């Protein structure tokens, strides 16, 4: 009985600790999050293009402007994605979110000499998706 209670406590403690990864998310910081290297930037834009192209090939109207708002935690991992002025269907947003969440390798934002969770807005402009 004690081992079951202990296991449940450990399980719930782990869930609570994970939920508190970003207690505070900064929008304005001294040094914003950035790509750690060019290959990460290429991967992000390749992922975006891949999803948009797939959605367009399935008959959706192409988006000419898209704003991604990434939440990047203090370890440099994307933990959330929001779409500002969404021009994509819910299904395409979900596909893109699944591609981007969990990407590691960002340089996290710094504020008051500490790595912090922050929002990063990525505008994506394209005249025509090809």
Domains in the chain: boundaries:
23-125
Classify strands 78-84 and 106-107 as parallel, antiparallel or unpaired.
unpaired
Decide if 22 contacts 73 (C-beta within 8 A). Answer: yes
> What per-residue confidence (pLDDT) applies to 57?
80
pLDDT in tens, 30-89: 999 988 877 777 888 888 888 888 887 877 766 677 888 999 999 999 999 998 876 778
- The two structure tokens encoding residue 92: 């395409």
Tokens of 1: 């009985």
Asked if residues 56 and 62 have their Cβ atoms less than 8 Å apart, the reply is: yes
Beta bridge partners of 60: none
Chain position carrying tokens 């402009």: 125
Produce one character per residue of 69-85: b if its CB has 16 or more CB atoms within 10 Å, e if not. ebbbbbebbbbbbebee
pTM of this structure: 0.74
Measured over the CA atoms of residue 115, residue 85, residue 50 and residue 96, the dihedral's sign is positive
Q: What local confidence, expressed as pLDDT, does residue 128 receive?
A: 55
Residue showing tokens 């981007």: 100
- What residues form DSSP beta bridges with 116? 109
């Amino acid at each position: 009985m004690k081992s079951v209670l202990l296991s449940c406590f450990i399980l719930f403690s782990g869930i609570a600790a994970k939920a508190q990864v970003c207690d505070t998310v900064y929008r304005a910081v001294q040094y914003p999050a950035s790509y750690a290297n060019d290959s990460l930037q290429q991967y992000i834009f390749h992922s975006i293009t891949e999803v948009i192209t797939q959605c367009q090939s399935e008959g959706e109207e192409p988006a000419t402007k898209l704003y991604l708002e990434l939440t990047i935690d203090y370890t440099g991992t994307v933990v959330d994605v929001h779409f500002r002025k969404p021009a994509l269907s819910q299904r395409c947003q979900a596909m893109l979110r699944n591609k981007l969440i969990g990407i590691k390798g960002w340089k996290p934002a710094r504020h008051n000499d500490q790595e912090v969770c922050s929002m990063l807005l990525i505008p994506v402009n394209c005249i025509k998706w090809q």
